[in-house]
Structure 1
Amino acid sequence: MAALAPPVAAIRVAVRRALADLPPGPVLVACSGGADSLALAAATVFVAPRLGRSAGLVTVDHGLQAGSAERAAAVATWAGAAGFVPVEAVRVEVAGRPGGPEAAAREARYQALAEVAGRHRAAAVLTGHTRDDQAETVLLALARGAGPRGLAGMPARRDLAGVPLLRPLLEVSREQTRKACAVLGLTPWEDPHNADPSYARARVRADVLPALVRALGPGVLENLARTARLVAADNAALDDLAATALAGVRHPAGGLSVAALADLAPAVRGRVLHAWARELGAPPAALSHRHVTALDTLVTGWRGQGAAHLPGGLRVIRRDGRLTRVGAAGAGAPPGR
């Protein structure tokens, strides 16, 4: 028997680890037809049945390029022949969604994946993000001043409308996925957006990362990905502290106690305020560092100023020694002190 090619073996091992502790149910692979998701799909349809579960596939047509419907149909046809059940090709509308084109497409894609996963009672959805994608994410976060949450990169697991979204390939390189496709006789689709310099990620991929590799050596990709893992572990510990602290700073009359907030370490206080803002109804995607800073200023830089404005038309004021919500933007606020 011929030895299994190392890239194929590495991807299958990564998938097996990701599926090991899931509850019963099918797993769904999100597959664009690119090398990363195609290699992931091939590994999943091999591994999942050997773990006693079925593997399905979802391909999302964003409608942003000529021939996108045909590409989605081709991926679905391949998936059916490869043994995936169920197989769905889903068309989404990107126009009219908030954010730039990348953010809008991502939101539409994840919404579609969540709907398909819910319909089939999937145990998890798998995506093909690689170590290279993680390195790009860390660099973009650093350039944007995103702070620890951004530097933590993409988590290996997160919730997607109640279904685990898994990224098994975050320790697998893009080169390995391409080699795996070649070994398996698969022809990946090359997304033209990945080479479009109007997208920041495409510029990082084409120019910045290659320059870093030339200057610092190939280990820079793993070092960036490892940075994300280390920062994510620190974030998890701080978030646990913040969850406990949030319970301790609640004021009996509602809102949060200013005095108790002031006693917290800044890193914990910022997380407490972020969590509380989300609790009030601020949309997580729109809640930024400047919003949390505005809340923090009501605690640490109080000069009698007015309300801090949060996404979703929310306002928070300082009154009677506590931070409290006063309703939608535009409504009159009682005097603070």
Structure 2
Amino acid sequence: MTLIARFETALEGATRPLGLAVSGGSDSLALLHLAAEAGVGPLFCATVNHGLRPEAAAECALVADACSKLDVVHEILDWRWSGAGNLQAEARAGRYGALTDWAKRRGLGTVLVGHTQDDVAETFLMRIARGSGLKGLAQMQGQWQAEGLGWARPLLSMSRAELRDYLRAAGQSWAEDASNADPSYDRVKMRQVLADVGLPTARIAETAARLAQADAALEAMTANAAEQVAKLQGRNIVIDGAALAALPEEITQRLMSAWTAWQGRSVYPPRRGALASAVAHALAGKQTTLNGCVLVAHKGRVIVAREAAAVTGLKSVGDSWDELTLLGHGPKDLEIRALGAEGLAAVKDWRAQGLPREALLATPSLWQGARLFAAPSLAFGDAFKLNFKVPPPYLGK
């Protein structure tokens, strides 16, 4: 199958119009040329300038020139590091944030990024070195949804070598990032391992693809298990303890990893060992905090609740608070805050909800100054509805 045919197959189902994230390296420039040749336009291209290397301006100009020749609209998106946090992690988050804003402004349906078969193989080895489980070793997704947009990686079946041959045939030069030869980076080390041992990236990618199929099967089992063992009550995830204990360890891990990350408003789930210990404590009737949430044991149940200390003093921004809103009508001076001990004391029949005090302190509630106005999860006050920016995993239907 030709590169164009593979490219078109990988884009089946992708919502148009398409945006292209092109840095000036060989992979993303090949993405640009393949999209133009496949005639899947109209096309819009963006290059994120992180301002971290002196070569960045020239790379942006290289992409702009290629887009001009291919009649593709091009924009440069500037992003600057604040100096806080891990540089690589912040740059990645900043890059995707800039691309998301750009795509929404342009009204795009799907943004294409240039990850290749080589990236699959390198990532596979990196995650083996880190002791990743099945989900981490599975091939990265070809298409997914995030922030209200479609995203796609149509080059996953293509090696970097054949993409560079394709560019040479098209007379297209590309930029070489010096950091791609820096052995202090794990990815560069794995790239060298592949070269030294002669491991074919195609075979590793095939293994990663098979693991992705196994992962998908386990995800289906996990979603089914969630419906059997848990329910959402207010913002709390209430789990039948005996049913949870009876699940296979991998299913329990997936459920609790997703639920604690969601409840704790964390990008990353807790480490596997820490999570397993917390779940064991909860099943043994002990309360434990983890990842911005608290696991509360109560009457044979395990309740995944928001940790009160994580939202103490947190005030709403507009109508949003802790990634949720309360929908309804009331005075303009209402403010969303955690219920807290003071608010709980104002709800005389809070025990009727069947939840322990520890699970209710972080309940979102509406305040008018120092007076509790409404707490929807406790059926207190005027009618408001709890609305999550991101629904809880496996329970979002």
* C-alpha contact (below 8 Å) 1:291/1:308 kept by paired residues: no
Cα distance change, pair 88–326 in 1 and its aligned pair in 2 (3 A): closer
CA distance in 1, matches of 2:307, 2:89: 29
Superposed counterparts of 1:186-201, under 5 Å: 186-201=172-187
Please give the alpha-carbon distance, in whole angstroms, between the structure 1 residues aligned to 2:232 and 2:100: 38
Find out whether 1:243 has 2:223 as its counterpart: yes
SS of corresponding position for 1:60: strand
Q: What whole-Å deviation, never above 9, does each CA across 1:244-274 have from its counterpart, x for those lacking one?
A: 2112112697621111101111111111112
CA distance in 2 between partners of 1:96 and 1:321 (Å): 47
Aligned to 2:319: none
* Pair 245,140 (structure 1): closer, same or farther in 2 beyond 3 Å: same
Comparing 286-295 and 271-280, the one that deviates more: 286-295
Is 1:318 the counterpart of 2:297? The answer is yes
CA distance in 2 between counterparts of 1:142 and 1:233 reads: 18
Q: Which residue of 2 aligns with 1:267?
A: 250
Q: Which residue of 1 aligns with 2:13?
A: 21
Distance 1:160 1:142, change over 3 A: same
Greater relative contact order (CA < 8 Å, ≥ 6 in sequence): 1
Q: Does residue 308 of structure 1 match 2:289?
A: yes
Within-5 A mapping of 1:201-240: 201-205=187-191, 207-213=192-198, 218=199, 220-240=200-220
CA distance in structure 1 between the aligned counterparts of 2:72 and 2:358, rounded to whole angstroms:
62
Instruction: Give how far 1:81 is off.
Output: 2.6
- In structure 1, the residue matched to 2:308 is 328
The one-letter amino acid paired with 1:42 is: H
Shift of 1:299: 5.1
Provide the C-alpha distance between the structure 1 equivalents of 2:3 and 2:82, rounded to a whole number of angstroms.
35
The structure that has the greater radius of gyration is 2
Cα separation, 1, equivalents of 2:53 and 2:150 = 29
Amino acid at match of 2:188: A
CA contact (8 A) 2:222 2:251 kept: yes
Supply the RMSD in Å over aligned alpha carbons. 2.5
* Cα distance in 2 between the residues matched to 1:251 and 1:91: 43
CA-CA distance at 1:74 after TM superposition:
2.9
Task: Rate the CA distance shift 1:248–1:221 in 2: closer, same or farther, 3 A.
Answer: same
Following TM superposition, by how much is the alpha carbon of 1:36 offset from its aligned partner in structure 2, in angstroms?
0.9
Q: Aligned in 2, Cα 1:43/1:322: closer, same or farther, shift over 3 Å?
A: same
- Offset, 1:291: 4.5
**Any idea what SS the aligned residue of 1:65 has?**
coil
The share of aligned pairs that are identical, in percent, is 31
After superposition, give the CA deviation of every residue in 1:144-173 in whole Å (9 maximum; x if it has no partner).
012111101321112231222111111111
Task: Give the count of matched residue pairs.
Answer: 312
Q: Judging changes above 3 Å, is the alpha-carbon distance between structure 1 residues 286 and 92 closer, same or farther for their aligned structure 2 residues?
A: farther
For 2:141 and 2:125, locate their aligned partners in 1 and report how far apart those are by CA, in whole Å.
Answer: 15
Q: 1:91 and 2:83 equivalent? A: no
Bigger strand fraction:
2
> 1: CA distance between counterparts of 2:84 and 2:128?
26
Distance 1:161 1:11 in 2: 30
| Alpha-carbon contact 2:23-2:29 (below 8 Å) kept | yes
- 1:171-218 CA distance string (max 9 Å, x none): 11110011011100000100111111221111211x2111221xxxx5
Higher helix share: 1
Q: 1:335 to 1:74 in 2, by over 3 A?
A: closer
The answer to whether the 8 A contact 1:73-1:89 is kept is: no
Q: Write out aligned runs for 1:26-175 (5 A).
A: 26-49=17-40, 53-85=41-73, 87-96=74-83, 98=85, 100-175=86-161
- Residues 260, 290 of structure 2: 8 Å contact kept: no
Taking structure 1 as reference, are residues 109 and 290 closer, same or farther at Cα in structure 2, changes over 3 Å only? farther
